[in-house]
Structure 1
């Protein structure tokens, strides 16, 4: 057996061996009250909740991430093994541009990935941030949790750690399409230097005169370059961020899916025995400053699990989750007796209250970004909530009734850009 297979096999073996003994110890420990809810549950309704990437992308195979995870859980697979195997599907799918292989790159055109996960019954956790060259950062995060005393390894150190364990390190995780989108973003933020050959030829006569205003768009104020987005100044005034304004114009033009622009997959699950695990994986905010890490690799922000209570995972503006430790807050809210929905809404209200900078507010004085949470408790009750809810804002669920999309419930009406 080669080193790579040995490491992966042993890591799974450690998890499988540890979980039953941990559960058994919990059931017989005299320090636990006989009436403790986590011990009195005879059977839990198994369920998985996740973002929509977990149901919409199959990488050419028969199952989505949430379907693979649910099947593994109901067949007796360790919960963490099942959900990581699930998110590996969209991580490897080049058409999903918010995570893994082909994820949208940073401002330098480099794909940097983040992931974290938590194993509820074992009280294990692991994460990686800013890792380059590994298509499945969730597997590296799993190795951190299972094989080390650490919870987070970052940057070049994370890549070296993966290399030592036999993970294949790619020179570049861009696809042709993700690189094309990065070049298009560069054209929109710096039109004086990054040009479109077809637009140059179509928008000028052979003598160099302007011919087609709709093709040319309009001149920049300083006379250099051509604007591809008529509404650039309006977006810039609203968001005070040229990078974000350009990226959202690409969403509006149908070049990037809105969910992929904010980019993250988070999947939480509970098995019939009441054991809970969660995993989050992402390529991060599109066109981010190189080295930026959002909430996804951080325990308590983009992901949190307490096996006696429940789990919460998130997508959306990572900085909002980091500031508010939102996933941890949701689980603590459930510990106090709140339902998954109410626990999530309380955290969203905290985010709303703490968003006070003008650059982060829309014309109504509300957050100009969205945050979504996927939540479940030990009994198998679940919720999907967001700052803004609409019929087009969905999340994924898989239970005894199969895999499906359900509408997110919003704290606020309208959209972030109203």
Structure 2
């Protein structure tokens, strides 16, 4: 007999849009998390549309979000930690297993490109904090103050109460207060190019008002991002601690390797999160986006409100809402 939880998760799997399974062999495609993924996809498509590499495409999409977008959760307009410091995290991964990341990086506009330099210029995978900044400067990146006046104002307002209460999808609510953590909106991108190569990128400013030194899932390979040409790619958004606890993106890719569709893999990974921490799962958001080696796409979230953008040769601006495990309240 199915439990109510199993029934909800099964419904989420069935709610996947049928079109997401259609993909012409040899055709390029890019998908990104959240509404601003539309703009990131457009930047990535400039590479994919001219038969460029998926790795170059996801870097360009992430750079657009870091430099052109002004959003409280990604890049130069991100909200700071509770001490008033804006720190940026990013990771990039190629389908051949190469990867790089940076965490708690300050005063560098494009952490995604620094992450790629870590991948290509060092024997390491991750650099953090002052060391990451030093490496970026040595690689020719410019140091600049990134904290905006609006973000500084929001931080000062938050300090009046110092109230920390993360809420699901609060960035979509016009009634949110400075104390609400509006920063679980990571930009994650996944792409397949005309040669069938996969790549992914993930970039964020992390949770607003986080403890100094807190790092979420975005720069952690296997948690916020994982890519394997032989199986597929996955990225995550939401409360990063849950993705770290469950190695969520790696889990989704491994389930695709075992034969599950991207949609089935996302749902199965969420099922594991609910099984392990059912009470907590009702209060936090976890969003998963996946693409397999054939370019098929799937997405699911614990709660209603997760959107993702898709761009391919048929239609270059497409925004969809993912199904959720728990119904809309």
Q: TM-score range by the shorter chain?
A: 0.7 to 0.9
Which of residues 238, 250, 263 is equivalent to 1:341?
263
Which residue in 1 is equivalent to 2:26? 44
Which residue in 1 is equivalent to 2:321? 407
Which residue in 2 is equivalent to 1:387? 302
What is the TM-score normalised by the length of structure 2?
0.86
SS at match of 1:188: coil
Deviation of 1:255 after TM superposition, in Å, equals: 5.7
Q: Establish whether residue 142 from structure 1 lines up as the match of residue 116 from structure 2.
A: yes
Map 1:265-344 onto structure 2 (within 5 A): 265-344=187-266
CA contact (8 A) 1:300 1:326 kept: yes
Which of residues 125, 150, 155 is equivalent to 1:177?
150
Q: Closer, same or farther in 2 for the Cα pair 1:249/1:349, shift >3 Å?
A: closer
Structure 2: unaligned runs, 5 residues or longer: 1-22
Which residue in 2 is equivalent to 1:193? none
Structure 1: unaligned runs, 5 residues or longer: 1-40, 57-63, 190-241, 361-365
Alpha-carbon distance in structure 2 between the residues aligned to 1:316 and 1:246 = 10
Alpha-carbon distance in structure 2 between the residues aligned to 1:249 and 1:139 = 29
Which residue in 1 is equivalent to 2:102? 128
Deviation of 1:246 after TM superposition, in Å, equals: 9.2
Q: CA RMSD in A?
A: 2.3
Which of residues 187, 191, 194 is equivalent to 2:160?
187
Deviation of 1:135 after TM superposition, in Å, equals: 1.2
Q: Closer, same or farther in 2 for the Cα pair 1:247/1:268, shift >3 Å?
A: closer
Deviation of 1:393 after TM superposition, in Å, equals: 3.1
Deviation of 1:334 after TM superposition, in Å, equals: 0.2
Alpha-carbon distance in structure 2 between the residues aligned to 1:247 and 1:338 = 28
Alpha-carbon distance in structure 2 between the residues aligned to 1:249 and 1:79 = 32
Which residue in 1 is equivalent to 2:76? 101
Deviations 1:206-256 (A, max 9, x none): xxxxxxxxxxxxxxxxxxxxxxxxxxxxxxxxxxxx411699989562467
SS at match of 1:267: strand
Deviation of 1:87 after TM superposition, in Å, equals: 1.3
Q: Closer, same or farther in 2 for the Cα pair 1:144/1:105, shift >3 Å?
A: same
Which residue in 2 is equivalent to 1:38? none
Alpha-carbon distance in structure 2 between the residues aligned to 1:329 and 1:71 = 31
Deviation of 1:394 after TM superposition, in Å, equals: 1.4
Q: Closer, same or farther in 2 for the Cα pair 1:254/1:75, shift >3 Å?
A: same
Which residue in 1 is equivalent to 2:85? 110
What is the TM-score normalised by the length of structure 1?
0.69
Alpha-carbon distance in structure 2 between the residues aligned to 1:350 and 1:286 = 27
Deviation of 1:72 after TM superposition, in Å, equals: 0.8
Structure 1 or 2: more helix by fraction: 1
* Aligned length, in residue pairs: 304
Deviation of 1:94 after TM superposition, in Å, equals: 5.5
Deviation of 1:278 after TM superposition, in Å, equals: 0.1
Deviation of 1:78 after TM superposition, in Å, equals: 1.8
Alpha-carbon distance in structure 2 between the residues aligned to 1:312 and 1:318 = 14
CA contact (8 A) 1:295 1:321 kept: yes
For the pair shown, the structure with the greater C-alpha radius of gyration is 1
Alpha-carbon distance in structure 1 between the residues aligned to 2:48 and 2:169 = 38
Deviation of 1:52 after TM superposition, in Å, equals: 2.0
Alpha-carbon distance in structure 1 between the residues aligned to 2:36 and 2:69 = 14
